[in-house]
């Protein structure tokens, strides 16, 4: 099983698994069970105006479809338990449970899957628009109120519990019922009902010639989530990337990892919510299917006593660690108790200038805090005061952080972040503090540094020219994970019965040709300044550098005599031998040792104690 875990979760053999992450993952799953699933309905205006091209760009309708399609594919990767649905209004055809005219439910709320993605894919691009027109037609005699009603029916028809309900409305018509006060009133009433039943309604307004005026109609319709209020209206989206940004920001429900107190001292505290803005996306665990029918099989694991064969309950076991040749046994509860240092919370230690934060003191991805009024009212103002002052004085807050009751404390730096919106008035940096985890003394390692040999001014300057030629603007979402992308393309191809999976472009590979072209002669000039003519930096080094790669080296048998082994066993120094040596020794005496070092050592110890 250990192999599996490293195969699916880790970055390979050099990465150790972290228990914390497991806990977090487990938490996320539990979260779903307890709170229910997130759901999102895309409500798309399909009246003629959406299909009118504007200059050279894509039509508003195409932008909406592109965007929805991309949310579907990314949901499959990041949160395939969320429910998505697509509804058109302003169509000639209709399909919905209440038989409203001109409202067409293309997809009811369900998990995104291959077929649904494929269905959406049909309506992308110019061809897609033609197909759409032929299939559904247009009709301007729709009622937005009915469209909203149809959406709310989708939510109540779902058979699982929903935690978060959201409608994203894509349109470029800012006053749909200008001449029909009855329909306008009905739309407002319906919108009010949505609000009352906790359904969020976001407006994704697209480009309208002459500009989209929210105040005409939609101001009374939209229903911004309480915790997402920027105090300003976003601009209309003229480009796909702008729309994508708006949609991305809202497509997942914000979840707190924890809500806890930030204690300034024993009896003065404010409350904050902790969020993960970064969370490693893993390849999902595989499931097991029955070969005959491809149906899902249940996997049950049980523990039993090897001697008696009787089933073991968790309470029939204890936990052990071995140190100094002795197995030390604790109750399971005790292994939890010893992780307990106090109740959860952030405990203020003091303030430090931001400049003393060492960038290379990194042990985990950061988290983020934002004030929380639900535990202590008034927290936001104090939080804001701390944030403003820390930003102004370039200070950070040093805290001791106990994330959960059974989590040992860590020291963290709270680094202030100023809120920032971009030109489209979309938030790109939220206000709050990043939680930067600081290493303990145990986490730092001494390294054997190479003596420095300073380069001359001329050499440094030449390198600066090279660097300048290769500058680009790093954006945090610049790179897709090629491993994940390929995995999901493979699945997609299999699910849809395609012959060949689409090859994902690997953005992590250097664009060598482009780089060489940009650099021109600079590389040669630099080499002439730095490397002697006969120097080959790519050549294998003279020393045993191959050790990590050379298979020849690995096979060298390390013989060890029986006496030596015996003496190691007696002195308890078996651990000094390497795993290959131990393996060979086990093989020599016909011992089954398993793959772990401790297991090999145990086998040998047992053998020599008996023989």
Partner 1 sequence: MFWLSLEVAIVLCLDVGFTMSSSAPGEECSLEQAKKIMTKFVQRQVFAESKDEIAVVLFGTDGTRNDLASRDQYQNITVHRSLMLPDFDLLEDIQDVIKPGSEQADFLDAIIVCMDLLQKQTIGKKYEKRHIELFTDLSSPVSEDQLEIIIANLKKTGISLQFFLPFPVDVDDGGGDPSAGVHSHIHRNPFPRKGLTEQQKEGIDVVRKLMHTLDEEGGLEEIYTFRESLERLSMFKKIERRPMAWPCQLTIGSNLSIRIVAYKSVKEKVKKVWTTVDAKTLRKDDVQKETVYCLNDDVETEVQKDDTIQGFRYGSDIVPFSKEDEEQMKYKTEAKCFSVLGFSRSSQVQHCYMGNQVLKVFAAKDDENAAVAFSALVHALDELKVVAVVRYAYDRRCNPQIGSAFPYIKDAYECLIYVQLPYMEDLRQYIFSSLKNNKKYIPTADQLSAVDSLIDSMNLVYEADDGETFEDLFKPSKIPNPHFQRLYQCLQHKAFHPNEPLPPIEEHILEMLEMPSVVKERCQGPLEKIKALFPLKEVGKKKEKMTAQDIFKDSSEDGPNPKKPKIEDEEGSFSIMKLAEGNVTSVSMFLQISFLKEEQLINRIDQFLENKGSQYYMKGINCIRVFREEAVKLSKVQCFNDFLQALKSKVEDKALADFWEIMIQGRMAFF
Q: Which of the residues 409 through 428 are near partner 1 (CB under 8 A)? A: 409, 411, 415, 417, 419, 427
- Note whether 441 binds partner 1 by CB under 8 A: yes
Residue 33 among the catalytic residues: yes
Nearest residue to 71 (alpha-carbon basis) of 112, 118, 13: 112
Q: Which residues of 272-295 are buried (b: 16+ CB within 10 A; e: fewer)?
A: bbbbbeeeeeeeeeeeeeeeeeee
- Note whether 214 binds partner 1 by CB under 8 A: no
List the catalytic residue out of 9, 25, 33, 445: 33
- Residue 86 contacts residue 110 (beta carbons within 8 Å): no
- Note whether 563 binds partner 1 by CB under 8 A: no
Among residue numbers 172 through 211, which ones bind partner 1 (CB under 8 A)? Answer: 185, 188-189, 192-193, 196-198
Among residue numbers 142 through 161, which ones bind partner 1 (CB under 8 A)? Answer: 156, 158-161
Of the two residues 287 and 552, which places its CB atom closer to partner 1 in the complex?
287
Of the two residues 179 and 556, which places its CB atom closer to partner 1 in the complex?
556
Q: How far is the CB of 286 from partner 1 (least distance, A)?
A: 5
- Note whether 297 binds partner 1 by CB under 8 A: yes
Of the two residues 130 and 388, which places its CB atom closer to partner 1 in the complex?
388
52: left (phi over 0), alpha (psi -120 to 50) or beta: beta
Among residue numbers 6 through 35, which ones bind partner 1 (CB under 8 A)? Answer: 11-19, 34
Q: What 3-state class would DSSP assign to 15?
A: coil
- Note whether 580 binds partner 1 by CB under 8 A: no
Nearest residue to 91 (alpha-carbon basis) of 42, 142, 153, 53: 142
Q: How far is the CB of 504 from partner 1 (least distance, A)?
A: 8
d(CA 523, CA 516): 9
Nearest residue to 255 (alpha-carbon basis) of 272, 271, 276, 270: 276
Of the two residues 50 and 86, which places its CB atom closer to partner 1 in the complex?
86
Residue from 32, 93, 135, 351 binding partner 1 (CB under 8 A): 351
- Note whether 561 binds partner 1 by CB under 8 A: no
Stretch that binds partner 1, among 89-97, 98-106, 168-176, 284-292 (CB under 8 A): 284-292
- Residue 261 contacts residue 345 (beta carbons within 8 Å): yes
**Chain length of the chain:** 611
- The two tokens of residue 16 are 């150790």
Nearest residue to 571 (alpha-carbon basis) of 323, 321, 325: 325
d(CA 447, CA 441): 14
Stretch that binds partner 1, among 87-95, 98-106, 478-486, 584-592 (CB under 8 A): 478-486
Stretch that binds partner 1, among 98-106, 121-129, 517-525, 583-591 (CB under 8 A): 517-525
Question: Residue 272 pairs with which residues in a beta bridge?
Answer: 260, 371
Stretch that binds partner 1, among 101-109, 125-133, 209-217, 312-320 (CB under 8 A): 312-320
Residue from 380, 424, 597, 605 binding partner 1 (CB under 8 A): 380
- Give the chain's radius of gyration (CA, Å): 31
Please give the positions annotated as active site. Answer: 33
């Amino acid at each position: 099983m250990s192999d599996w875990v490293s195969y699916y979760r880790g970055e390979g053999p050099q990465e150790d698994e972290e228990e914390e992450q497991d806990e977090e993952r487990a938490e996320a799953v539990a979260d779903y069970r307890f709170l229910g699933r997130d759901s999102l309905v895309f409500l798309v205006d399909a009246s003629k105006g959406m299909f009118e091209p504007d200059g050279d760009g894509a039509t508003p309708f195409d932008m909406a479809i592109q965007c929805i399609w991309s949310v579907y594919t990314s949901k499959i990767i990041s949160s395939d338990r969320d429910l998505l649905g697509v509804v058109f209004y302003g169509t000639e055809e209709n399909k919905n449970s209440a038989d409203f005219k001109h409202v067409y439910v293309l997809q009811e709320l369900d998990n995104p899957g291959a077929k649904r993605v494929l269905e959406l894919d049909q309506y992308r691009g110019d061809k897609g628009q033609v197909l759409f027109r032929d299939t559904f037609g247009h009709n301007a005699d729709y009622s937005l109120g009915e469209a909203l009603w149809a959406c709310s029916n989708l939510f109540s028809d779902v058979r699982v519990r929903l935690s978060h309900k959201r409608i994203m409305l894509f349109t470029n018509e800012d006053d749909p019922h200008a001449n029909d006060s009855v329909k306008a009133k009905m739309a407002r009433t319906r919108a009010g009902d949505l609000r009352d039943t906790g359904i969020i309604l976001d407006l994704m307004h697209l480009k309208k010639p002459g500009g989209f005026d929210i105040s005409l109609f939609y101001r009374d319709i939209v229903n911004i989530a309480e915790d997402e209020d920027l105090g300003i209206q976003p601009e209309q989206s003229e480009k796909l990337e702008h729309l994508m940004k708006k949609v991305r920001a809202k497509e997942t429900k914000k979840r707190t990892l924890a809500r806890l107190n930030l204690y300034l001292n024993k009896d003065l505290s404010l409350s904050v919510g902790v969020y993960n803005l970064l969370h490693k996306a893993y390849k999902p665990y595989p499931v097991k299917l029955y070969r005959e029918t491809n149906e899902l099989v249940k996997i049950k694991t049980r523990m039993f006593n090897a001697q008696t064969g009787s089933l073991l309950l968790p309470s029939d076991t204890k936990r052990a660690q071995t140190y100094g040749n002795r197995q030390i046994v604790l109750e399971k509860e005790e292994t939890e108790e010893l992780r307990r240092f106090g109740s959860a919370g952030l405990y203020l230690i003091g303030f430090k200038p931001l400049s003393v934060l060492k960038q290379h003191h990194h042990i985990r991805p950061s988290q983020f805090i934002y004030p929380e009024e639900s535990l202590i009212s008034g927290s936001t103002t104090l939080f804001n005061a701390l944030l403003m002052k820390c930003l102004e004085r370039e200070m950070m807050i040093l805290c001791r952080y106990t994330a959960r009751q059974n989590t040992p404390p860590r020291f963290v730096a709270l680094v202030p972040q100023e809120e920032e919106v971009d030109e489209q008035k979309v938030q790109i940096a939220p206000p709050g503090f990043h939680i930067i985890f600081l290493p303990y003394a145990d986490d730092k390692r001494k390294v054997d540094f190479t003596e420095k040999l300073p380069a001359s001014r001329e050499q440094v300057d030449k390198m600066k020219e090279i660097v300048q030629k290769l500058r680009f603007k790093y954006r945090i979402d610049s790179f897709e994970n090629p491993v994940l992308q390929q995995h999901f393309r493979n699945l997609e191809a299999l699910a849809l019965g395609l012959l060949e999976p689409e090859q994902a472009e690997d953005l992590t590979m250097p664009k060598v040709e482009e780089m060489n072209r940009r650099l021109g002669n600079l590389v040669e000039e630099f080499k002439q300044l730095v490397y002697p003519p006969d120097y080959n930096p790519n050549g294998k080094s003279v020393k045993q550098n191959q050790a990590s790669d050379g298979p020849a080296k690995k096979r060298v048998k390390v013989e060890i005599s029986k006496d030596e082994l015996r003496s190691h066993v007696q002195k308890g120094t078996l651990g000094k031998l390497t795993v290959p040596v131990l393996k060979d020794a086990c093989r020599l005496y016909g011992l089954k040792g398993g793959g772990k070092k401790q297991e090999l050592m145990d086998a040998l110890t047992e053998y020599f104690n008996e023989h």
